[in-house]
Amino acid sequence: MKLKSARKIILFVILLTGLAGIIAGIRFYNLRNKNLLKEKPDFTITAEELRKEFESDEIASTSKFVNKIVEVTGVVSSIDKGENNALNVTLTTGSSLSSIICTFSGNTDTSGLKAGQAVTLRGECSGFLMDVLLNNCVLISK
């Protein structure tokens, strides 16, 4: 009798775990990026100031900016196509070694952007790897 009840408990745990996995999979599959045009930025900063913060203390800046919405103002130095139809807009920072790279999804309207233009962009900071990286960017003003 003990063996049958133990089997039932094990089967119940397996079914419960499988159901939780299916629900989590559906949630992640349907997960959408935030509309950053409607989100309030956590920080408003210039491209040069953002670079200086990361270069002066990367650990503190990482905990301060990563996964936060940052609105950055700077001058476009280049516009390149990235992976999956993404557009990478690089902002100058006053340093030849690092810059701010803002990645736009493929369906974002960035028409009219050109090198040398002053812009304000909003994105989600994902860290510093020689350059400060902002993802899911939107154009605020040009």
pLDDT tens profile 86-114: 888 989 888 888 899 998 876 666 677 88
Architecture of domain 43-141: Beta Barrel (2.40)
Number of Cβ atoms within 10 Å of the Cβ of 26: 10
Q: Is residue 84 pLDDT above 90, yes or no? A: no
Measured distance between the N- and C-terminal CA atoms of the chain, rounded to whole angstroms: 75
pLDDT of residue 133: 92
State yes or no: pLDDT of 34 exceeds 80: no
Confidence band, pLDDT 50/70/90 cuts, at residue 70:
very high
Which helix (DSSP H) or strand (DSSP E) does residue 101 occupy? strand 100-104
Give the confidence band of 119 by pLDDT, cuts at 50, 70, 90: very high
CA torsion 9-11-17-18 (nearest 10°) is -160
Q: Is the pLDDT of residue 25 over 60?
A: yes
Q: Is 116 left (phi over 0), alpha (psi -120 to 50) or beta?
A: left
Percentage of residues in the chain having pLDDT higher than 90: 33
Both tokens assigned to 55: 């270069």
| Domain boundaries defined on the chain | 1-31, 43-141
Query: Would you give the distance in Å from CA 86 to the centre of its chain?
Result: 13
- Which pLDDT score, from 0 to 100, does residue 9 have? 87
Alpha-carbon span 18 to 16, nearest angstrom = 5
Quick check: 110 and 123 in contact, CB under 8 A? Answer: no
Q: By the 8 A CB rule, do 69 and 121 touch?
A: no
pLDDT at position 1 over 70: no
* Residue 100, strand partner residues: 91, 132
